[in-house]
Structures are given as C-alpha cells and as structure tokens.
Structure 1
Amino acid sequence: MPRCNQFVPTCSRRDLLRASACGFGQVALAAMAGRSLAGPKVGPTPGPKMPPRAKRVLFLFMWGGPSHVDFFDPKPQLNKRSGQPLHASSVGEATVGGPDRELGRLLGSPFRFAQQGESGVWMNALFPNLAQHADKMCVIRSMHTEGNAHGEALLRLHTGQANLVRPSVGAWVSYGLGSANENLPAFVTISPPRGHGGAQNYGSSFLPAVHQGTAIGSAETPITRAKISNLKNPSLSPELQRSQLDLIQSINARHLRRVGVDQRIEGLIDNYELAFRMQSTIPGVMDLSGETKATLDLYGIDARPTDNFGRQCLLARKFAENGVRYIQVSTDYTWDHHKQVEQGSIAEASKVDRPIAGLLADLAQRGLLEDTLVLWGAEFGRTPTAENGDGRNHHPKAFTMWMAGGGCKPGLTYGATDDFGYAPIENPVHMHDLHATLLHMLGLDHEKLTYRHAGRDFRLTDVYGNVVHDILS
C-alpha cells in the first residue's frame, strides 16, 4: 500500500480513499456515539448546576422597540401633563445643561388601560386576546440597558455586549445544555433580523460552530417563503452526500489524532454531522399540514393580519416540543414609531396579539408551558416625550418585558418607573440581570458557565448580572 506522509499527504487521492475507506463508517459512528443528548459533545459539558425550572426558552422579539408607556406601563401623570415640557429635574436627570434642561414635550398615551385577570396586570386595549392570559404573565416594568441606537441595543440584548463580537444568548444555552434531539440544533431563530448586528445576534463567536443558531428565513421575508439555506443538495443523493462527508470527516479525524485537541475542528465535525441529519428531520417539523383547523385558527393562520406571525409562533411550538432549547421568533423592523405611534401600535399589535395568545394556550394545553419560558420584549422602550409631533424616540433607560411559564411567578408585576415612565424607581432590572436570570431558570449558573478564549474565561454576563430571585416561583 502506498505510504502517506503524516503531515503532508504525498499519496494520490485514489490511494487515500482506498487506505481510509474502512474507517469512514467508524468515524461517523464515533461522532454520533460521542454526542451526549444532555450536553454538547465539544469542549466541557457545563450542564445544569441547580434544578432547572425551564427546559427551554422561547423569545418573542418585537424588533424596533414597543412603547412601554403605551402598552404595559400606564402613566396618569403623563396623560395629565401631555404637551408640557419635561425638565431634567423632574426625572432626576441633573446632567449636562443643569436640572432645568428641557428633555422634550410630554406625549400622553392615546390608549385605554385596564387591569386584567385576577392578578390585575395592566395592559392597554390593543391586546384583548393576550389579556385572557394575564394571570400567566410576569411583567417586568423596570428594564433598562445601554445603547440609544438599534444596533448597539440589539447586540446587548442578544449577546450581552456591543463593543466586541460575543456569543449570543442562544449559543450560550446550547453550549450549556446541548440539544435534547440529536437530529435538531439546540438553537433555532425564526425570521431573524438582517440588520442591526445581523448574524451576530444569533452567532456563536468563539464558541464551537455547532452552537450557532440555525436561521430560518429573515424578518423581511414572509415565513411561507422562508427556508434554511443549503439544507438539501438537489444534485446529490443522501448516499453520495454521506460518502463525501465520510471523506471529509476522516481527514478531520486524522488532524485530531495528530494535534490531540482542537475544539474548532471538533466543532466542525459535530456541525457537519448535525447538518446531515437535519435534512431528514427539519422538513417534517416545519410542515404545518398535519395541524388541525382548530390549531391553525388558534394562531390566526390563514387570516389577516395574523397569518405570518401566527405561522412563526406555531413553528416555534413545534421546535419546542421536538427538543430545541432556545427558539427566537422575530417581527419585522416595524415597531420603531418615531411618528404616528398610535397608528403604528394599533397595526403591530393586531399582527401579534392573537398568535401570542394562541401560543400560550397551545403550550399550556400540551403541558409544555410549565417548563417553557416564554419571553416577550425588545431592545429598548420609547420616550415619554414626543418626536415628530406624534411619535416617540428610542429609550434604553426604561422599558417593559414580560415572561410566562418556565418557573416565573404568574400574575406578578415587578418593578416600577417614575410618573412619566422615564427611569426605574423600584427594583431596576438591567439586561445583564435578565440574562443571568434566564440562565438560572435553565439550571445554569451565569458566573460558572464560562468558555476559555484568548487567555481568559468569558461568560454571557461578563463581570455583571444578578439573578432576580423575586420573579421566580
């Protein structure tokens, strides 16, 4: 048999194939056998450090930033003083320009608020279907972050940082827990934004590639036309693809035998194997034809204007019940109401109210809500002052997010902002605190879920973050 140099192959491709063929099946088998469904195959297996409250997270991302003072945080004083100037001293902003500096003119909310459910959760009248689930919701009205621009704020929401490329929340969850289904990724993002950070918002950065989110379509593409890029090869049969992959994996395995440890190559091997198996599994999960008419109606599918987001939410439920750990569903960039906040809020709420309510009902009736943490929110809120007459500007100083299921306290309203919704005055929750709490609910310690890179240990929350125990059941 021709000899191949250990470091630089000197044999022909035919010789290499003949010499290695017997090991191809073994390589594939080893890759599959080495994978643990309880955690990632690549690198350390952090695993849950405490009993988890939730097995998975389902994040409903409202791209652009809904106005908290128009949806979940009613402010009578804001309405009473609408049109009057807001001075820095009124909200504790004695910064450059002094306490008399004018921050803008107040804009009252045009919407009627009411308390919903036995718990009395406040919300406006634009969410009549969601209101029926008020007692499942844990509303956090004291969120705050940094970043007045969408790009910075989105990266902070999705990765914890904006000045460096860091792994996304879903990638950290995948790294910490792995997938519960070896034929599906641990992290799926449905209709993700192309802008404001783009792929960084679901990327794995320095974590092994297998932890990157699998993207289905984009926020700008109707979900009926969305697909996973390169999922199938129309030119090659599965058998021929398997043969090609076996060859590639044998070369990767030879590299690993030579160097001992290379987590990048290990991640690549794992990623290739997962991608091959996904071809036979993903199409069935994404097929909604087997759903009953009652289920389709529950989500508002085949109805206007709920069809698109309803389909996204139903896909999210199917991925959740098939073992995916972190699922994100995103709207288009349509919540950025710098003008006509009333008309814009009405239009966007009408698209998502029925699908979100349907999702909560469907998860509950299937027994999935108790161990699925549903999170609703955006990168920031909106100012209590007017922009362009009838709009609101970006506002990272205060906003609202809510949770349901997954071990949060149902029917709780946590935290408070001042009389105008400008800043938190009670139980402030920073974005780092939210991330720490999400990991905690999954059984992961945010201070110990680390990855060695560039000479030091990194984590999602960097050196910040506290678990908000008060919102946990």
Structure 2
Amino acid sequence: MNLLQEQTRRHFFRNCGVGIGKIALASLLAESTLGSAAAAETASPFAPKPTHFPAKAKRVIYLFMAGAPSQLDMFDYKPKLAEMEGKPIPPSVIAGQRYAFIQPDAAVLGPRFKFAKHGECGAEISDTQPHLAKVVDELAIVRSCYTDHFNHAPAQLFCNTGNGVPGRPSMGSWLSYGLGSEAHDLPSFVVLKSGGSLSGGAAMWNAGFLPSVHQGVPFRGQGDPILHVSNPPGYDDKAQRASLDLIRELNGQRLDYVGDPEIRTRMEAYEMAFRMQSRAPELMDFSQETKETLDLYGADPSDNGKSFANNCLLARRLAQRGVRFIQVYQADWDHHSDVEGGVRSQCRKTDQAAAALIADLRRCGMLDDTLVIWGGEFGRTPMVESSAALGRSQGRDHHPQAFTMWLAGGGIKPGFSYGATDELGFNVVENKVHVHDMQATALHCLGIDHTKLTFRHRGLNFKLTGVEEHHPVLDLIS
C-alpha cells in the first residue's frame, strides 16, 4: 500500500490546506488580473498614449535617401580636396580602415559642384540644391553623423530599425506602439517608395517582435494604393460589413479562448481595411490640390509611377490626416561611378519636392509639430575607388565615418549647423552624432525618453537605440 492510500481525507486537507488556500487565492487574483488584461486587450492598439514629457512634434516624415548621398558634393564643402585632387590619399588616413571597393592607390577627388552660402544662417550647400537653398533657414544641418556599418543592407536596416540584422522593429513601428495614432481610418505608419530597389528590403518597415499591427503599410503608385482595398464587382459595402461582423465575432470567441494578441491584431486590420476603403481613394485624389501646390512640388497627378515629388505631397496629406510616421524612400543614390552625374540626376528628382514639403508644411501651419528628417545610411569617401578611375568614372565608395543629415520642424532649431569633419571630410572632429543619437533625438522631439520605450521579448527589454549609451542631441532642439 503506498503513502497516498494510507492518507485519510482529514489528513489530506490538514497537510495541503495551505496549498489549496494559495491556489484559491491565486485563482481569484488571476481572475482580477486577467479581467484587467482583457479590458486592455479590447482597447485599440492605435489609441493615443501619453508621452514621457511634453512633445514638440506629433508626427514624423522621414525622407530616406537609400544608397548614401555624397555629403562632400552637397553639404560638406572641403577646399582641401580640390587642392589635392588626383594625389594619393595619405596612407595614414586610411590605415586600418575597411571599405567595399577602395584600392590602395586611391586618389583624392575634389568637390564636383560649386558651393555658396545661403539664407540668414549662411549655411553652405552646393548648387545641386537651388530649392533647398531657399528654405535653408528652416533646417538644422548635421555634418557629423557616423554609423557602425559600411555595406548598404545592414546600414539601411541600422538607420531604420536600430540594428544591422533583419527582425527588429522599425522606427515607425516603435512610434506606433509607443504613441498610438491620431488617424482613425488610415494606418499609423505608412511607407512610400520611389526609385529602384532597396537593399534593406521590407525588413526596414517591419514590426519585428512588436504586435504586427504596428508594421508599416506600403502605398502603391498605381491602381489601389493598397492591395485589395477595393471590393470586387457585385460585392457592396453592406455585404462587406456583414462579412466583417461575422468574422469579428468568430475571432472574438477565439481571442477569449486562447488569448493570442495576434488575433486582436487581425481584428484591427480587418476594421482598418474597411475604413480605408472610403478614405484611401480620397487621399490619393490630387485633384483637390491647387495648381500652385502641384507646381510647388513638381507633382504630376497623372503619373502612374510613384515619383518622389508625388510622395512628398502625399506625405503632407497623410500628416494632415493624423498618420504618425510617414517613411519616404528614394533609392538610387549609390554612385560608385560618375558621382557628378548621379548626384545631379538625383537632386533633380528630390531637391524641389523636399524643399516644397518644408515650405508647404509651414504654409499649412504644420511644420512646428511635424519633424522632417533627411538622410541616407552613410556617406561617401573623399577619394575615388582607384587612381585608374580618376578622370574616367570618378565614383566614391561607402564611408561610415562621416555623413550629413538635416532636420526641420518639430522642435528642431532652425537655421542651424552642427558638427564638423576634418579638412578632407574623412573623420568627424566636432560633435559626433551616432545613428542611435539621431534616433534618440527624434524620439525626444516626440516626447519619448528613448531609454523607456521598451518591449519585453525573450527575457530582455529591447529598445530602438540598442544597449550602448546614447543620448538625444539637445543642442539641435529649440
């Protein structure tokens, strides 16, 4: 006979009563806890959330120049490079450095364009950007950025997600998760693309381990802005609503049973899609805009392909409708050959529209609470890839040690230049700004302490700005 068979009922309850009491109490507490959790789950994941401190910006428009613009030909004028053109770069400068294509006989390549000072602030930019020169007093130009990566895919991921490998939440997803949205019938995070392919791919706007409802939603340049947003022929809004109500009821039952938050995500996605069916066509209808506005951007309503100009105008329209984060990608900035022709071509596509966005936001009374960011994933070298290429292809290689970004609006100090590089534009010598510092600065403008915006995943508290110590650049904030 075993021990359990020898136990009487009275002995069992006497010996285990404390345990049973604990189980009962835990059950009651669990019901209370689960009740509050269930109530939290029923709230929309896009509901506006409080900030850590008063915010200067409500939303972000990030103009990401994929491929890495040449800061030396646009923003960071170095007369010394013109003096040394064709001469070998001093060995001490590149000793111990890693590059994608630089050869040992690399020669210095001087600026390919004329520079001049503009505006009351006297910021020096090249003649590739005549339109930006007109709004330069609205900008804070940061010439001292640097990054950890020297190849496009990891560097683009790093700028967009804070990490060089796929799988981390993007900046827009963090903001959607941390702040919610002011848009009832549009996504909180929208992605607009122009130019060629993006090395970082869709991982740059993915939600990673955050609830997938927070991932970026790409808008298309032709047809429906979002796939399947229109009903098929013969299927009207009434039938659509009835189907969604039934699906929501079934999903709700499943959510109550298993508690999987992704079911809530799916339910929200269905409802958002239904609301967007009426909002999206109106959003994409540029006929509502005046000819003056279209000419300001250089936008073409009949353009079936999504141009950067159209995207910038669409970004303003999205911002007006409460979208929290609008990511505008312009590809094709990777100029390993003919950097002069490449930069000029890209600036023809982007300069007018980027400047128009600043001017238009100001005209609409939105610039003060809209943070605009412009920049690529790294910079370009002050030398060609090899001396044999000098005078022939004249391209610049990848350069993570120094590049330029600019910001405007959203609490940023206007007409301000920050940081400096050495006389060759090779290394930052004043006010270094890491990519994580720039991300922390953007979050600060939105009222977020970057160290407190975290998500528990696999036993760790993750954040956009990584585990190293980084800080917002308070000198940039007005």
TM-score range, shorter chain: 0.7 to 0.9
Superposition map of 1:122-137 within 5 A: 122-137=124-139
Q: 1: distance between equivalents of 2:307 and 2:414?
A: 28
- Partners of 1:189 and 1:216 within 8 A in 2: yes
Displacement, 1:300?
A: 1.1
Q: 1: distance between equivalents of 2:459 and 2:430?
A: 39
Which of 145, 152, 155 is matched with 2:154 structurally? Answer: 152
Displacement, 1:140?
A: 0.6
- Partners of 1:60 and 1:329 within 8 A in 2: yes
Displacement, 1:294?
A: 0.7
Displacement, 1:382?
A: 0.7
Displacement, 1:102?
A: 4.8
Deviations 1:261-299 (A, max 9, x none): 432222222222112211111211111011111111111
Residue 409 and residue 342 in structure 1: after superposition, are their counterparts in 2 closer, same or farther (change >3 A)? same
Residue 434 and residue 392 in structure 1: after superposition, are their counterparts in 2 closer, same or farther (change >3 A)? same
Displacement, 1:318?
A: 0.2
Question: Partner residue of 1:212?
Answer: 215
- Partners of 1:87 and 1:103 within 8 A in 2: no
Q: Does 1:423 align with 2:421?
A: no
Q: 2: distance between equivalents of 1:303 and 1:341?
A: 31
Question: Partner residue of 2:177?
Answer: 175
Gaps in structure 2 of 5+ consecutive residues: 1-38
Superposition map of 1:290-439 within 5 A: 290-302=288-300, 308-331=307-330, 333-387=331-385, 388-389=389-390, 390-439=394-443
Displacement, 1:162?
A: 1.6
AA aligned opposite 2:83: K
Question: Partner residue of 1:267?
Answer: 265
Query: Considering only CA atoms, is the larger Rg found in Structure 1 or Structure 2?
Result: 2
- Partners of 1:31 and 1:269 within 8 A in 2: no
Residue 278 and residue 127 in structure 1: after superposition, are their counterparts in 2 closer, same or farther (change >3 A)? same
- SS of 1:105's equivalent in the other structure is coil
AA aligned opposite 2:111: S
Q: 2: distance between equivalents of 1:141 and 1:463?
A: 25
Q: 2: distance between equivalents of 1:417 and 1:212?
A: 36
Deviations 1:102-127 (A, max 9, x none): 57211001211111111111100111
Q: 1: distance between equivalents of 2:329 and 2:431?
A: 28
Residue 350 and residue 194 in structure 1: after superposition, are their counterparts in 2 closer, same or farther (change >3 A)? closer
- SS of 2:456's equivalent in the other structure is strand
Deviations 1:204-249 (A, max 9, x none): 11111211111012xxxxx356731221231432222222222222
- Partners of 1:31 and 1:273 within 8 A in 2: no
TM-score, normalised via structure 1 length: 0.85
Q: 2: distance between equivalents of 1:241 and 1:450?
A: 38
Q: 1: distance between equivalents of 2:345 and 2:58?
A: 33
Q: 1: distance between equivalents of 2:97 and 2:73?
A: 27
- SS of 2:125's equivalent in the other structure is strand
Q: 1: distance between equivalents of 2:239 and 2:224?
A: 27
AA aligned opposite 2:175: V
Aligned identity (percent) is 46
Q: 1: distance between equivalents of 2:277 and 2:460?
A: 37
Displacement, 1:163?
A: 2.6
- SS of 2:411's equivalent in the other structure is coil
Deviations 1:364-384 (A, max 9, x none): 011000111111111111111
Q: 1: distance between equivalents of 2:289 and 2:97?
A: 57
> Which deviates more, 153-162 or 301-310?
301-310
- SS of 2:384's equivalent in the other structure is coil
AA aligned opposite 1:466: H
Superposition map of 1:77-92 within 5 A: 77-90=80-93
Which of 61, 64, 68 is matched with 2:64 structurally? Answer: 61
Gaps in structure 1 of 5+ consecutive residues: 1-29, 40-44, 218-222
Displacement, 1:49?
A: 0.4
Q: 2: distance between equivalents of 1:144 and 1:103?
A: 25
Q: 2: distance between equivalents of 1:348 and 1:194?
A: 15
Question: Partner residue of 1:470?
Answer: 475
Which of 54, 73, 80 is matched with 1:70 structurally? Answer: 73
Residue 448 and residue 307 in structure 1: after superposition, are their counterparts in 2 closer, same or farther (change >3 A)? closer
AA aligned opposite 1:130: L
Report the number of matched residues. Answer: 426
Q: 1: distance between equivalents of 2:312 and 2:125?
A: 21
Which of 108, 111, 136 is matched with 2:110 structurally? Answer: 108
Q: Does 1:143 align with 2:141?
A: no
Residue 303 and residue 243 in structure 1: after superposition, are their counterparts in 2 closer, same or farther (change >3 A)? closer
Q: 2: distance between equivalents of 1:191 and 1:309?
A: 8
- SS of 2:106's equivalent in the other structure is strand
Runs of 4+, deviation exceeding 6 Å: 30-33, 303-307
Q: Does 1:34 align with 2:27?
A: no
CA-based RMSD of the aligned residues comes to 2.4
Q: 2: distance between equivalents of 1:343 and 1:73?
A: 18
- Partners of 2:135 and 2:355 within 8 A in 1: yes
- Partners of 2:301 and 2:310 within 8 A in 1: no
Q: 2: distance between equivalents of 1:225 and 1:255?
A: 35
Residue 62 and residue 447 in structure 1: after superposition, are their counterparts in 2 closer, same or farther (change >3 A)? same
AA aligned opposite 1:65: A
TM-score, normalised via structure 2 length: 0.84
Displacement, 1:161?
A: 0.6
- SS of 2:63's equivalent in the other structure is strand
Displacement, 1:168?
A: 0.5
AA aligned opposite 2:265: G
Q: 2: distance between equivalents of 1:386 and 1:347?
A: 19
Question: Partner residue of 1:252?
Answer: 251
Deviations 1:309-360 (A, max 9, x none): 22111100000011001101122x3211111111111111111111112111
- Partners of 1:56 and 1:372 within 8 A in 2: yes
Displacement, 1:61?
A: 1.4
> Which deviates more, 81-90 or 114-123?
81-90
Residue 360 and residue 164 in structure 1: after superposition, are their counterparts in 2 closer, same or farther (change >3 A)? closer
Residue 198 and residue 175 in structure 1: after superposition, are their counterparts in 2 closer, same or farther (change >3 A)? same
